[in-house]
Structure 1
C-alpha cells in the first residue's frame, strides 16, 4: 500500500485496542490511518487468554466493559468475520467467609450498576461447572452476560469493520520517529517517508512507554511475564462458563474441548527491563514450569481432572501492567493531541471494545463519553516518571490481582517516596501512613498501647476507635492535620483574573485576600475540578487542590486559559508545607502562636491573611473541610517543623491532637462535604450535587459550562445528591444500592461512619429519568442494599452536623 502524505488521525499499534479505536473513529466519519510495525495482533493480543468480564468497582468502567460485550455480540453479524465470542457467563468462587463477604459486596455493586450477578450455593456452582471440586467452596457469584472470545478473531473483525468504514490499516510499517515542532505533534516518520497528522494515538501495548518517552510523555507501564496452560481435549463442554477462583489465584476457560488455566502469582517476573527486544512479533518467552508450578498446585484440588490430562502448551507471553492495575486512556497532559490507550493488565480483550469506543470519542470530540477518572492518564504524577519505581509498584499490583480487595487497603511497595518535612515527627508520634501519588500521609495515630499498622477487614477495622478519638477532638477541642501533600499552583499575569473568570464557575473577581471555593466545569456542565483559589495579588491567585488531582487539575486549568491572555500557571506543590488546624479551640491555639489578630471580626471566614508564627511567614486560610472553626496554614517547607512545634506547644494544654486523613473523611461525611472522584466529577453538575450556590449565574459573566448550567436550570435535574444514615452496626463503604420506595434509584458514592452521630453515613445520587426535586427525594422511604441485604435508611439533603447550633440533625 502506498502511504498517504497525511492523515488527520494516526494510530500506532494494531492490537485489539488500536483496531477498536480505528473501528469507532471510522464509524464517526473520521479520517484514520493505523500503522502496525508487524502484523495485526502481533504484540500481546494474539496470546491473550480472552476472558471477558464486566464488573469493576466503578460504574463507568463497568459500563465500558459492558459496551465491549454488546459490541462483540453483534460484531460478527456486522462484519462477516468470526469472533469466537461466547456469552457463556462467568463464575467467581468464594472459599472462606471473608471472601464470601467480598463476593456479596461485589454482587451488590453489580446490582447498583444494573448487572444481574446471582449468588449461588456451592452445589449450584458445581452444576454450572461440573469439573470442579467444591469441598472448600462457601458460595459463588454468577454473571450470565460475561463470556470469552478469540482475541485474534475479534481484532480482525474490528479491523475489517474499520476498513469498511474508510480507515486505512497498514501492516509491516514501523514508526521510527514521532515528529514534533515547537512542542506540538506534526506527524510520524516511517521507512517510506513522513506522514503528517493532527492527532496521534499510541496503542502500542508494552512498546508505548518507550515510544511516548521520546516526546516527553510519561506512560507508566512495564512488561510482566504472564503464563497460562492449555490442556489437551478431554470432553469439556463448549458452553462451560469462565471460572475465577481468586482464593487459589487462578482462572479457567474452555478451549477446543480442553481447559485454559492461568493466574496471578504473588511473585511476578518482570520482562524487558532494559527495553523490549527488536524484533519481537508473534513470539513467546520460554515456558517457566518451575514458576508456574505454584499455580498448578493451587489448581489441582479445584479441578482434579488436571492430574491426568495432557498439557498441550504452557504459554508465556509478556503483557503490559500498570502501578494500580487499571489501564491508561486519554490525552497526554504533556502534549496536546497525543492520546494513549495502553497498559491493559491482561484484560485488554474485556476492555478492548469499550476502550476503543471511549478513546475514539476522546480523540474526535476532545473529551470522553463519560467520566473515566479511574483509567485517566492524568491520575499519575511525579513518582511515575521513574520506571524503576513504577516496576516495583506494578509487581505488587500484579500479585494482588486476585487477592482480597480490602476496604481502605494501602500499597506497601515503593515507600516511603515523597515525605513531608514532618514525616519523622509524625511517625514518632504514632502516625500510621497511607500513600497517594507517592506522598506519605498520616491516616491515623496509634497510642502507645495500640499496634501502629492497618489490620484489614470487612468489619470495623482496628483504626475505627483511634479515628473516633481524633474525630472527637476535632469536634470538642482541636486537631492538627499535615496536609503538605495538597497540590498547589500559582496563576500569575496581567490577565490572571480574566483567565480564571472563564475557567472557574464561581466569581473570582474578589478583593485581594479573598478565598474562592469553586468548581471548574466542562461544556456539559460537569465538574472537572473542585478546588480553592486565594487571590494573593491583583495579578495572582494561589490555587489548592487534592493530592491525587495534581496532574489532572494543572492540565485542565492550563489548557483552558483562553488564547491571547497573558497568564501563566506554575506548580509550587513542593515549595509549601500545609498544617490544618481545626476545632472549636483552634482560634485560642492560633492566637497563642501569633501576634496577628485572629478574632472573627479581624479574620472572618473565607479570608486569607499573611501572619507570622515563630519567625515564619504563613499564609493563613480561614476555611474548613471538617465543619469546624479552623485555618489551613501554608508556609515554606523549611519552617514546617518550627511551626508544628509552636502549634503543639500552644495546643496540647487545650486538648489538641494530631489527626489523620481517615478522620477528615468521617468529619466531612457528617458535614456533607463532597469529594471529587467519588461524589462529584465530570458526569455531575453543581445543581445535581447541591453546589449550585457556588456558580455565578446571577452575574452576566460568561464562563466555561455556563450554557449547560442554564439549560439544566430550565429543564431540571434527573439526579440529586443526598445523604443517608442507618441504624445498627451497618458498615457502608460506597457502591451500596439505593432503593427508593422499593425501586432501585442509584448507589452510594461514599460511605463511612460519623463518630459524633454514632451512625453509618452514605452519600449518593437519587436518580429518576423523569426528573428529581427536593420533594421527590425527601417524600419517600429508603433502603440500602449492603452485601445483598437490605437495611432501612433515613435521607436528608442538609448537613447532619451543624457546629453553630452545636447539635446533630437527625
Structure 2
C-alpha cells in the first residue's frame, strides 16, 4: 500500500523507527516523538536537571538573553564577537530544544526586498564561514530552484531578480526545460518558468545553533540550561533585574529570544507587560526513506503556487509546506517542559500539501515514509520577524517571531540586535520587522489565533501590491465607517485601522472592476475610481476620512512643552499660537524618527499629527525624552478625534457655508489652525492643509461629533459636487506633488538634507535639537543620496507592468538606487516614481557629494527604472513639477538651492 495515498490511520503503520538512526547522523537522537540533542554536553553548560535551582548564576550580567535556541545563540555570538562577553543565556530546557531542533534548515535568500535579501545573505555567509573554519553546521551549497505555475508568479520572480542583481546575488531566470535538466524528478509540464539561485543551500539547524553556542561560550558567554525566567523587573522604564528559577540577575540589557514562548515571557515583565505579538501554528513536513534518483546535491525546490518545498535528506526527500487554513496551536498555553517534542500527525490536514507534492514530485507516489514531522512554529500578524527595542522599556529587546524562518534569519537577527544594543541602532533600516509596527490589539491572543493561519499561507501565496489581510478586520473603525461603507468604500487597513482606499459606485457592482482582478501587477481595477476621485479633488471638492492618523497632545504649565518640542523637532515650532509647522524629529544620526505636523493650540498646548503607522513609534519617542520632573504631559489622542480632509477648490466655500468662521486665505491662512463650530458641533480643530499640495482643510473633530459634521458637509456640498475620496487619491496627489511620506519614502536612515527638506530645519539657528550635529556634518561633507521624482517616458499605463515601489533605478547603466512609492500622475499623464538615488563605489556603498543636486540633474545623465526586468527611460526632478505648482500652497514649495 502507498503510505502517501493511505488514510491517516493506515499511514501511521508505515512510520519507521529507522528515523532514529537517520536523524542521529545529523546530531539527533529519537525517542518516541521526541528528538533530543546530544551535543550540548560539549559546551560544559551550567545545568543539572535534578538540581536546577541550585545552579549558581551571576549576580549581575551586562546582557541577559532569555532563550537558548538558534536566535538566542546568535545574539550571544554576535555580542561576544563585538567584545561584549559579560553575557548570560538562560534556557528553561536544553539548548535548541524548542523550534530549532525540528527546523528543515533551508537557506534561501531570494526574497521580496533588498533588506530581506541582505539579511538572509549575511546568515548564509556566516554559516558558510563557520563551515570553512571547521565547524559542523551541515552546510551544503546545493542551490535552489523556485518554480512558477503562472505568469503572475513569474512576474514576481522577475521583480525579485531585478533586486537581487543590485546586491550582487547570482540569480538566473530559467525555463521549464532547464528546470527538468536540473531536477529530473520534477513534473514540469505545467510550469512557465523558474529561478535558479546557485549559492543557496541547506544546513542542519541544531548543529548551527550548537556551533554558535559553543563559540559564544569560548569567548566567555555563560549559558545555563534548566533555568527559567520567572519575572523581569522594571523601574522607570528600564529592566533592572531578572528573577529566575535559580536566583536573581541584575542586568543592563535584556533580550527576549524565547521563540514561541516570547509572548508569554513578555507578560512576565512587571509592573507592565511587554508586548510580543506572535502565536504558534502547526508546521508539517515528511521525511522519506532513500529514493531512487535522488541526487545528494539536489537543489532545494520551492513550489510557491503549490505551497510546498523539497530538499534532499540522506538519500530521501524532506517535503513540507505552508498550507491554507493552517492550524493554530497552544492557544491556552504551551505545555510545561515542551522540549524536543512534536505534535500529533494529521494526515487529513496534510492532504492539500500532499496532493501538490505528489503532483510536483511524482516519484513520491512510491516512496516509503519515515515520519511526518509536525512541529510548532511561531508566526506574527504580518509574517515578518519581530525585532527591536520595546517601545516602553528602553533596555528590553526582542528577537523572536521568526515565522518558520528562524534558521535563515537567525544570523542576521543576532547581528543587528547586537548592533542595536552596542551602537544604539542597527546598520540596516529594520522598520519592516520593528516591534513598534504594532499596537496593543495586535497582541490580543484571540486576534493572533485568527490571524496567524493567514500569515502561514502568505509565506508562499502570491502577494500582489497593496493586497490586504482578510482576518482580524473591522477592529479599529472610524465613526464614519458605516456611512462610507454604504457609499461604496473599499477598505484597507493600517495599524488595524480601517480606512477607505477608494470608492465604487454602490449601485453598480461592475463599476471600476471590469474584467480585471482586484489585485494585479498591472493597471489595477481601482484605476478609474481613483482617477475620478483625483479630479474631484483638483476641480471640485472631496471629503476624505483621515481618522486613522496618529494624534498626540503635549501640555505643560509653563513653557516646558515648548522647550521640550524644540529639542525634539528639527524645525522651529516656537511660533505664534494657531500656527502649524511641518517638522521631522531626528535621531542622533539625523534620520527621521518621526515626520509630523505640529499645531500650537495655546502657549503651552500642542497637537501633533503623524501617519498611522507611527502611532507606537511616535509615542515611544515622545515618552523617552520627557523631562524627568513630570513638567510635560504627553497623551495619545488618536481615538479622541476623527479627521475629515476637505480637499479641492470649493473646500473654502463649503466650510464657510457650514461654519461662522471666515475661510478666505487672509483670515484663515495656510498652515494655521482655528477652533471652530461646524453645523451644531463645537470645538472642531480646523487646519488649512491637506497633506496633498491642494488647497483645503483638515477638521479634527471630537469623535462624538464626527457623524454630524460629515453629514452636514455632505448635504451642504451637493451644490459643489462633493464626493468621497479614499487614501489612494491622496497618495497619487502627494506623489505627483513630490511629497515624501514616512514609512514609505522616509525612514530613520534618511535625513532632511537627503530628501530636500533642509529648508524645514533650524540647522542655521542657535537652538539645539537632536541630530543637529549630524546634519551640520552632513552639510559640510555632502550627502550620499537624494530624494528624486522620476517620470517615466514611453510607458503605457494600460498595458505595461506597473512600478509599485522597490524597483531598481539605473543612471547611465549603473545602479544608483530604488523607487520607494509609485503611481500614475493624472495631471502629468505619466507614471511617477519617487525614490532615492546616489553614486556608488565598486562595493555598492553610497559616495558623499557636496553637489548632489547637480549630479542628479546632469543633462547628460540617462535614467532608467527597471520594472520586472524591463527598463523604462525616466526624467528626474528634485522639485515639484511646474504643471502642478499652481495648485500648491506656497508653504509647500521648496525654495530652490536650499536644503
TM-score (norm 2): 0.88
Find the counterpart in structure 2 of residue 33 from structure 1.
88
CA drift of 1:183 comes to 5.2
Question: Which of 107, 111, 123 in structure 2 is aligned with 1:68?
Answer: 123
Q: Deviations over 1:540-574 (max 9, x none)?
A: 21111111210011111211235457212110111
CA distance in structure 2 between the aligned counterparts of 1:441 and 1:515, rounded to whole angstroms: 25
Is residue 2:697 matched to residue 1:642?
Answer: no
Alpha carbons 2:795, 2:872 under 8 Å: kept: no
CA drift of 1:181 comes to 4.1
Find the counterpart in structure 2 of residue 740 from structure 1.
811
Alignment of 1:668-679 (within 5 A): 668-679=734-745
**Structure 1 residues 140, 766: CA separation in 2 closer, same or farther (over 3 Å shift)?**
same
Is residue 2:755 matched to residue 1:689?
Answer: yes
Stretches of structure 1 that go unaligned for 5 or more consecutive residues are: none
**Structure 1 residues 317, 745: CA separation in 2 closer, same or farther (over 3 Å shift)?**
same
CA distance in structure 2 between the aligned counterparts of 1:228 and 1:657, rounded to whole angstroms: 52
CA distance in structure 1 between the aligned counterparts of 2:136 and 2:107, rounded to whole angstroms: 17
Question: Which of 465, 486, 493 in structure 1 is aligned with 2:549?
Answer: 486
CA drift of 1:113 comes to 4.4
Alpha carbons 1:671, 1:801 under 8 Å: kept: no
CA drift of 1:801 comes to 5.8
Find the counterpart in structure 1 of residue 24 from structure 2.
none
CA drift of 1:770 comes to 3.4
CA distance in structure 2 between the aligned counterparts of 1:187 and 1:260, rounded to whole angstroms: 43
Alpha carbons 2:538, 2:649 under 8 Å: kept: yes
CA distance in structure 1 between the aligned counterparts of 2:372 and 2:731, rounded to whole angstroms: 47
CA drift of 1:451 comes to 4.2
Find the counterpart in structure 2 of residue 776 from structure 1.
855
Alpha carbons 2:568, 2:770 under 8 Å: kept: yes
CA distance in structure 2 between the aligned counterparts of 1:127 and 1:249, rounded to whole angstroms: 23
CA distance in structure 2 between the aligned counterparts of 1:223 and 1:583, rounded to whole angstroms: 48
Alignment of 1:513-552 (within 5 A): 513-552=578-617
CA distance in structure 1 between the aligned counterparts of 2:648 and 2:665, rounded to whole angstroms: 14
Find the counterpart in structure 2 of residue 372 from structure 1.
430
Is residue 2:841 matched to residue 1:764?
Answer: no
Alpha carbons 1:748, 1:762 under 8 Å: kept: yes
Alpha carbons 2:827, 2:883 under 8 Å: kept: no
CA drift of 1:439 comes to 1.2
The 3-state SS of whatever aligns with 2:359 is coil
Q: Deviations over 1:20-60 (max 9, x none)?
A: 00001111222200011111100100001111122333322
Find the counterpart in structure 1 of residue 101 from structure 2.
46
CA drift of 1:222 comes to 0.4
Instruction: Report how many aligned residue pairs link the two structures.
Output: 807
Question: Which of 766, 771, 786 in structure 2 is aligned with 1:705?
Answer: 771
CA drift of 1:695 comes to 1.1
CA distance in structure 2 between the aligned counterparts of 1:724 and 1:380, rounded to whole angstroms: 32
**Structure 1 residues 795, 471: CA separation in 2 closer, same or farther (over 3 Å shift)?**
same
Alpha carbons 1:225, 1:270 under 8 Å: kept: yes
Question: Which of 538, 543, 546 in structure 2 is aligned with 1:475?
Answer: 538
Alpha carbons 2:278, 2:443 under 8 Å: kept: no
Alpha carbons 1:587, 1:630 under 8 Å: kept: yes
Find the counterpart in structure 2 of residue 315 from structure 1.
373
Deviates more, 1:183-192 or 1:302-311: 183-192
Alignment of 1:623-662 (within 5 A): 623-662=689-728
Find the counterpart in structure 2 of residue 55 from structure 1.
110
The 3-state SS of whatever aligns with 1:44 is coil
CA distance in structure 1 between the aligned counterparts of 2:712 and 2:176, rounded to whole angstroms: 61
The 3-state SS of whatever aligns with 1:313 is strand
Find the counterpart in structure 1 of residue 454 from structure 2.
396
CA drift of 1:109 comes to 2.8
The 3-state SS of whatever aligns with 2:425 is coil
CA distance in structure 2 between the aligned counterparts of 1:450 and 1:690, rounded to whole angstroms: 44
CA distance in structure 2 between the aligned counterparts of 1:275 and 1:440, rounded to whole angstroms: 30
Question: Which of 224, 245, 248 in structure 1 is aligned with 2:281?
Answer: 224
CA distance in structure 1 between the aligned counterparts of 2:768 and 2:854, rounded to whole angstroms: 31
CA drift of 1:317 comes to 0.3
CA distance in structure 2 between the aligned counterparts of 1:6 and 1:365, rounded to whole angstroms: 21
CA drift of 1:800 comes to 2.8
Question: Which of 201, 211, 230 in structure 2 is aligned with 1:176?
Answer: 230
The 3-state SS of whatever aligns with 2:671 is coil
Alpha carbons 1:7, 1:33 under 8 Å: kept: yes
TM-score (norm 1): 0.97
CA drift of 1:314 comes to 0.7
Is residue 2:508 matched to residue 1:449?
Answer: yes
CA distance in structure 2 between the aligned counterparts of 1:394 and 1:114, rounded to whole angstroms: 34
CA distance in structure 1 between the aligned counterparts of 2:155 and 2:440, rounded to whole angstroms: 36
CA distance in structure 2 between the aligned counterparts of 1:301 and 1:276, rounded to whole angstroms: 35
CA root-mean-square deviation: 1.7
CA drift of 1:180 comes to 3.2
Alignment of 1:433-444 (within 5 A): 433-444=491-502
**Structure 1 residues 506, 565: CA separation in 2 closer, same or farther (over 3 Å shift)?**
farther
Q: Deviations over 1:185-240 (max 9, x none)?
A: 22222232211112111100111101211221111100000010111112522222
The 3-state SS of whatever aligns with 1:76 is helix
Is residue 2:465 matched to residue 1:415?
Answer: no
Find the counterpart in structure 2 of residue 789 from structure 1.
870
Question: Which of 149, 156, 159 in structure 2 is aligned with 1:105?
Answer: 159
CA drift of 1:693 comes to 1.1
CA distance in structure 2 between the aligned counterparts of 1:522 and 1:239, rounded to whole angstroms: 48
Alpha carbons 1:112, 1:735 under 8 Å: kept: no
Is residue 2:266 matched to residue 1:212?
Answer: yes
Question: Which of 646, 665, 675 in structure 2 is aligned with 1:600?
Answer: 665
CA distance in structure 1 between the aligned counterparts of 2:61 and 2:312, rounded to whole angstroms: 42
CA distance in structure 2 between the aligned counterparts of 1:181 and 1:683, rounded to whole angstroms: 30
Q: Deviations over 1:625-662 (max 9, x none)?
A: 11110111001001111111121122221122100011
Question: Which of 245, 248, 253 in structure 2 is aligned with 1:194?
Answer: 248
Alpha carbons 2:307, 2:457 under 8 Å: kept: no
Find the counterpart in structure 2 of residue 728 from structure 1.
795
CA distance in structure 1 between the aligned counterparts of 2:81 and 2:816, rounded to whole angstroms: 33
CA distance in structure 2 between the aligned counterparts of 1:398 and 1:606, rounded to whole angstroms: 45
Deviates more, 1:415-424 or 1:112-121: 112-121
Is residue 2:489 matched to residue 1:431?
Answer: yes
Find the counterpart in structure 2 of residue 590 from structure 1.
655
Question: Which of 123, 136, 139 in structure 1 is aligned with 2:177?
Answer: 123
CA distance in structure 1 between the aligned counterparts of 2:378 and 2:422, rounded to whole angstroms: 26
Is residue 2:87 matched to residue 1:20?
Answer: no
CA distance in structure 1 between the aligned counterparts of 2:694 and 2:141, rounded to whole angstroms: 53
Question: Which of 204, 210, 213 in structure 2 is aligned with 1:156?
Answer: 210
CA distance in structure 2 between the aligned counterparts of 1:170 and 1:516, rounded to whole angstroms: 53
Deviates more, 1:22-31 or 1:85-94: 85-94
Find the counterpart in structure 1 of residue 189 from structure 2.
135
Q: Deviations over 1:651-681 (max 9, x none)?
A: 2211221000111111111001101112110
Q: Deviations over 1:447-485 (max 9, x none)?
A: 122448871122211111000000011111111100111
Question: Which of 235, 255, 258 in structure 1 is aligned with 2:313?
Answer: 255
The 3-state SS of whatever aligns with 2:594 is strand
Alpha carbons 1:76, 1:157 under 8 Å: kept: no
CA distance in structure 2 between the aligned counterparts of 1:562 and 1:356, rounded to whole angstroms: 33
Stretches of structure 2 that go unaligned for 5 or more consecutive residues are: 1-45, 47-55, 840-845, 894-899
CA distance in structure 2 between the aligned counterparts of 1:110 and 1:507, rounded to whole angstroms: 42
